[in-house]
Amino acid sequence: MQEKIVKCPICNQGSFSLFLKTGDYFLTREEFIIQQCDGCGFKFVNPRPDKDEIGRYYQSEEYISHDAKKANLFSRIYKLARVHAIKGKYGIVAGHAHAGKILDIGCGTGEFLHYCKSRGLEVTGVEPNDKAREYARKVNGIEVFNELGEAGISNPTYGCITMWHVLEHVHDLNETLEIVKGMLHPEGIFVVAVPNSNSWDAGKYGKFWAAYDVPRHLYHFNKSTMDKLVGNHGFETIKIIPQKLDAYYVSMLSEKYRSEKNNYFTSLFSGFWSNFQAGREGRGHSSQIFVLSLKKA
SS percent in the chain: helix, strand, coil, step 5: 40, 25, 35
| pLDDT at residue 281 is higher than 80 | no
User: If you average pLDDT over every residue of the chain, what do you get?
Assistant: 91
Sign, Cα dihedral of 189, 280, 268, 42: positive
Mean per-residue pLDDT, 120-143: 94
Structural domain includes residue 30: no
84 compared with 272, residue with greater pLDDT: 272
What pLDDT score does 83 carry? Answer: 80
Q: What is the pLDDT of residues 178-228, one digit of tens each?
A: 999 999 999 999 999 999 999 999 999 999 999 999 999 999 999 999 999
Over residues 109-137, the mean pLDDT reads 94
* pLDDT higher than threshold 50 for residue 127: yes
Cα separations in angstroms, 134 against 86, 104, 110, 278: 20, 15, 10, 38
Query: pLDDT at position 66, please?
Result: 44
Mean pLDDT across 133-148: 94
The answer as to whether 59 is a domain residue is no
Confidence of residue 3 (pLDDT cuts 50, 70, 90): very high
**Helix crossing, 73-96 with 244-259: angle to 10°?**
150
Helices of type H across the chain? 51-54, 73-96, 111-118, 130-138, 173-183, 200-205, 223-231, 244-259, 264-277
Relative to beta strand 16-23, strand 235-242 is unpaired
How confident is the model at residue 64, as a pLDDT?
45
Q: Report DSSP letters for 31-62, one per residue.
A: EEEEEEETTT--EEESSEE-HHHHGGGG--TT
What residues contact residue 55 under an 8 Å CB cut-off, 6+ apart?
Answer: none
Average pLDDT over residues 172-179: 96
Q: Kindly state whether residue 111 falls inside one of the protein's structural domains.
A: yes
Does the structure show a pLDDT above 80 at 102? Answer: yes
Q: What single-letter amino acid sits at 210? A: A
- For residue 278, the Cα-to-chain-centroid distance in whole angstroms is 19
What is the domain-level CATH number for residue 171?
A: 3.40.50.150
Please report, as a single letter, which amino acid is at residue 283: R
What value does the mean pLDDT take over residues 124-130?
A: 93
Q: Report long-range pairs for 263-272 (Cβ below 8 Å, ≥24 apart).
A: 270/201, 270/204, 271/201, 271/247, 272/247, 272/248
Among 11-25, 49-63, 124-138, top mean pLDDT goes to: 11-25
Bridge-based pairing of strands 48-49 and 2-3 is: antiparallel
The span from the CA of 283 to the CA of 206, in Å, is 15
Residue 84 pLDDT = 80
Beta pairing partners, 288: 194, 242
Residue 39 falls within a domain, yes or no?
Answer: no
Nearest to 161 by CA among 211, 222, 225, 116: 116
- Indicate if the pLDDT at residue 157 is higher than 60: yes
pTM of the model: 0.92
Which pLDDT belongs to residue 63? 58
Question: Comparing C-alpha atoms, which of 293, 277, 287 is closest to residue 223?
Answer: 287
Query: How many distinct structural domains can be found in the chain?
Result: 1
The boundaries of the domain holding residue 150 are 70-294
Which segment of 38-47, 84-93, 101-110 scores lowest on mean pLDDT? 84-93
Q: What is the mean pLDDT of residues 167-182?
A: 96
Residue 148 lies in a domain: yes
pLDDT of 62: 63
Q: What is the mean pLDDT of the segment spanning 7-11?
A: 98
Question: Is residue 175 in a domain?
Answer: yes
In a domain, 121, yes or no: yes
